[in-house]
A and B are shown apart, each in its own frame.
Chain A
Amino acid sequence: MASPAPALPPLDLARAPAGGEIGPVQSGWRLALREFSRNRLAVIGVALMVFFILFCFAGPLVYHVNLLSTNLSIASSPPGAGHPLGTDNEGIDVLGEIMKGGQASLEIGFLSAIFAIVVGALWGAISGLVGGLLDGALMRIVDVLLSIPFLFVVLIVAVRYGASVLSLSLLIGIFTWLVPARLVRGEVLTLKTRDFVAAARTAGSSRWRLINRHLLPNAFSVIIVNVTFNIADAILAVAYLGFLGFGLHFPNYDWGDLLSNGTQYLLDGYWWLIYPVGIAIIATVMACNLIGDALRDSLDVRLRRR
């Protein structure tokens, strides 16, 4: 350690990135984005997700078919000219049905995830920040709801009160904000002992400002990872409801309803009623899971390659 350290070359910002000696300081988000886009599976996940969103919401603008009136003369015809994915037992075009069904599935997935994240993040942040008796009470409520078999309650309420896109989103949201609440609470508990929170407190920030400006943005990575898994769970839950016959009511339907309808013709070999929509569900859920895994890897500073 006796020899002096070699002098650094003079700072030349214009040349630095190309030379690779000194780069401009990169923000955490940019680093995370770089890490994310290098993950091949993540890019596949995003591509699949974008494809299905465009397919379901922009597709019907280009691909016009009649989804409301039956035409029994062409019932259950295999894929061919005019009907790229064939027709169902009532002569309705399957490709158009998958687009429309996907709208409901994706809407419920996203709406319930938004609900879960907003409620869960606030609940967890308040619980972690206030602590004490309130923390105990809020977390016991989370424990109780987490113990209750969520699919059962969703089915019971759907049977009793009927199901619509909004009510199902709300219902699924009520049972999926629990895990985010726990995660955010844990994050807040570690964050609130940090110096910048103490500094903000000293500067006279209100509790709301502390939560809103300091704690939630820092807990954001935990939240955003969870969103993707919530969407996947919600899409699957709706598919179960549709399959068991307690999902949306006609003329609304989701992918689960279509699959349920297709499975009645299992013996007849009408594969185009089952496999296309089955693949759509699997691909969408898998896209969510891939994006979630990659986000977790890229946002977790400890796992990130520097």
Chain B
Amino acid sequence: MSAYLVRRFGTSIVVVIGISIFTFMLLHAVYPSPARVVLGPRASLPAIAAWNKENGFAGSVLSQYWHYVGQVLHGNLGYSFKLNQSVVALFGERWARSAYLSGISLLLSILIAVPLGIYQAVKRNSWGDNVATSLAFTAYAMPDFLLYLIAIQVFALTVHAFSYEASQSASLFAVMGDWRSMTLPIICLTLLIVAGFSRYMRSSAMDTLAQDYIKAARAKGLPERLVLYRHLLRNACLPMITLVGLSIPALLAGNLIAETVFNYNGLGLLFYNSLQNEDYPVLLAYTLVGAVLTVLGNLLADIALTVADPRIRLATPSR
């Protein structure tokens, strides 16, 4: 097992290095040097060359990449010359709000999708299963923003039950307490994630239901409730670990759209505003952070799976 994890860890490091090369190349291609922005349109060419040299934007591509990696490793993700603030400071102000929105939606989704998937698998092809499947298919095919807009029109503009805008407060505690404005974004994001998760959960539970140990548990006269709790639930949830680990790119993209529609001041809205300002250091830094988080999510999911599944943990290495 440890050999597997060591190899898995090594692969992740290689991938992270590859990601840094990719984001550097993209940044280099779309935004070779901020010198013009910093020094102004009337700066002389020698002044620009001097500035580039001083700030690591001159020399060979390799040396520039080296400078970039050095900066990132020292916790400097770049500088937004449009907002005149370091990217780390911009992220520091906002990440908690984004993490709250994603985290609570993800948590609610798991709490809903797991029982829903098991119910659908147990009552396969029943009326309830068909309704849930149709809803999941529709939500799955729907562009996120359409759901948000319909929700805003119905629940905020027609019924006036909730606010059409997410909480604008700077303090996270105030955001958490502001149910009137946070309910719509959280519920909508949750619905969209459940649509994806419940389909996997349903097929995973169906696979587990066909296993011999379920038949054995039933044959020995275990009440159905205990069969479901003790035997089905634990085994059917294993793929959920992987699924949650793999959901980070979807969460980042989901946050981008949700925060834009609901005007919620998190990382997604920052990305959208940076797109409009063509503020490439912020855009590429967020891409880098998102990619590294994705690798981390995959790695953690694999580790969690080895902990949770004795079949993986105890398997003798084949190679």
B168 at the interface (CB under 8 A from A): no
Which chain B residue has the least Cβ–Cβ distance from A262?
B149
Q: A156-B275, A289-B137 are in contact. Are A148 and B143 (CB under 8 A)?
A: no
Contact, CB under 8 Å: B149 / A274? yes
Query: What is the CB-to-nearest-CB distance from A127 to chain B, in angstroms, rounded to a whole number?
Result: 15
CA distance A274 to B150 in the complex (A): 9
Q: Which residues of A lie under 8 Å from residue B152 when comparing CB positions?
A: 266
Contact, CB under 8 Å: B143 / A243? yes
What per-residue 1/0 map shows which CB atoms of A276-305 lie under 8 Å from chain B?
001001110110011000000000000000
Q: A244-B275, A259-B146, A263-B149 are in contact. Are A148 and B141 (CB under 8 A)?
A: no
Residues 273-318 of B at the A interface (beta carbon under 8 Å):
275-276, 278, 280, 283-284, 286-287, 290-292, 294-295, 298
Query: What is the CB-to-nearest-CB distance from B257 to chain A, in angstroms, rounded to a whole number?
Result: 7
Q: A140-B15, A160-B30, A259-B143 are in contact. Are A282 and B286 (CB under 8 A)?
A: no
Q: Which of B26, B138, B142 is the one whose CB lies under 8 Å from A156?
A: B26
Query: What is the CB-to-nearest-CB distance from A265 to chain B, in angstroms, rounded to a whole number?
Result: 11
B19 at the interface (CB under 8 A from A): yes
CA distance A151 to B287 in the complex (A): 10
Contact, CB under 8 Å: A148 / B19? yes
Q: How many residues of B contact A (CB 8 A)?
A: 45
Q: A155-B275, A159-B275, A246-B275 are in contact. Are A147 and B26 (CB under 8 A)?
A: no
A239 at the interface (CB under 8 A from B): yes
Q: Which residues of A lie under 8 Å from residue B286 when comparing CB positions?
A: 152
What per-residue 1/0 map shows which CB atoms of B1-21 lie under 8 Å from chain A?
000000000010011001101
Contact, CB under 8 Å: B149 / A152? no
Residues 197-226 of A at the B interface (beta carbon under 8 Å):
none
Contact, CB under 8 Å: A149 / B252? yes
Tell me the interface secondary structure of chain A in the complex: helix
Contact, CB under 8 Å: B141 / A149? no
Q: Which residues of A lie under 8 Å from residue B19 when comparing CB positions?
A: 144, 147-148
CA distance A244 to B253 in the complex (A): 12
Residues 230-269 of A at the B interface (beta carbon under 8 Å):
232, 236, 239-240, 243-246, 256, 259, 263, 266-267
Contact, CB under 8 Å: A156 / B15? no
Contact, CB under 8 Å: B15 / A143? yes
B272 at the interface (CB under 8 A from A): yes
Tell me the interface secondary structure of chain B in the complex: helix
Contact, CB under 8 Å: A240 / B145? yes
CA distance A7 to B200 in the complex (A): 49
Contact, CB under 8 Å: A153 / B149? no
Max chain B Cβ within 10 angstroms of own Cβ: one of A150, A160, A246: A160
Contact, CB under 8 Å: A149 / B280? no
A157 at the interface (CB under 8 A from B): yes
Number of A-B contacts (CB under 8 A): 118
Query: What is the CB-to-nearest-CB distance from B160 to chain A, in angstroms, rounded to a whole number?
Result: 13
Q: Which residues of B lie under 8 Å from residue A236 when comparing CB positions?
A: 143
Contact, CB under 8 Å: B141 / A267? no
Which chain B residue has the least Cβ–Cβ distance from A288?
B141
Contact, CB under 8 Å: B146 / A149? no
Q: Which residues of A lie under 8 Å from residue B146 when comparing CB positions?
A: 259, 274, 278, 281-282
Q: How many residues of A contact B (CB 8 A)?
A: 39
A145 at the interface (CB under 8 A from B): yes
Contact, CB under 8 Å: A149 / B287? yes
Q: Which of B142, B276, B283 is the one whose CB lies under 8 Å from A282?
A: B142
What per-residue 1/0 map shows which CB atoms of B196-225 lie under 8 Å from chain A?
000000000000000000000000000000
Q: Which residues of B lie under 8 Å from residue A153 when comparing CB positions?
A: 26, 287
Q: Which residues of B lie under 8 Å from residue A285 when comparing CB positions?
A: 141-142
A141 at the interface (CB under 8 A from B): yes
CA distance A145 to B14 in the complex (A): 12
CA distance A143 to B10 in the complex (A): 13
Q: A156-B30, A156-B275, A159-B275 are in contact. Are A289 and B140 (CB under 8 A)?
A: yes
Q: Which residues of B lie under 8 Å from residue A290 when comparing CB positions?
A: 137
Residues 58-98 of A at the B interface (beta carbon under 8 Å):
none
Q: A159-B275, A244-B260, A246-B275 are in contact. Are A145 and B22 (CB under 8 A)?
A: yes
Query: What is the CB-to-nearest-CB distance from A269 to chain B, in angstroms, rounded to a whole number?
Result: 9
What per-residue 1/0 map shows which CB atoms of B141-182 lie under 8 Å from chain A?
111111001001100010000000000000000000000000
Contact, CB under 8 Å: A152 / B278? no
CA distance A67 to B44 in the complex (A): 49
Q: Which residues of A lie under 8 Å from residue B257 when comparing CB positions?
A: 240, 243-244
Contact, CB under 8 Å: B143 / A286? no
Contact, CB under 8 Å: A152 / B30? no
B-side residues, CB < 8 A to A, are 11, 14-15, 18-19, 21-23, 26, 30, 137-138, 140-146, 149, 152-153, 157, 249, 252-253, 256-257, 260, 271-272, 275-276, 278, 280, 283-284, 286-287, 290-292, 294-295, 298
- Between A and B, 7 residue pairs with Cβ closer than 8 Å are A140-B11, A148-B23, A149-B294, A152-B253, A159-B275, A160-B30, A278-B146
Q: Which 7 A-B pairs have the closest CB atoms?
A: A144-B18, A285-B141, A286-B141, A149-B290, A160-B30, A147-B294, A151-B253
A-side residues, CB < 8 A to B, are 140-141, 143-145, 147-153, 155-157, 159-160, 232, 236, 239-240, 243-246, 256, 259, 263, 266-267, 274, 278, 281-283, 285-286, 289-290
A sample of 12 more A-B contacts (CB under 8 A), given A153-B26, A243-B257, is A145-B22, A147-B291, A152-B252, A152-B253, A152-B283, A152-B290, A159-B275, A240-B257, A263-B145, A266-B153, A281-B142, A289-B141
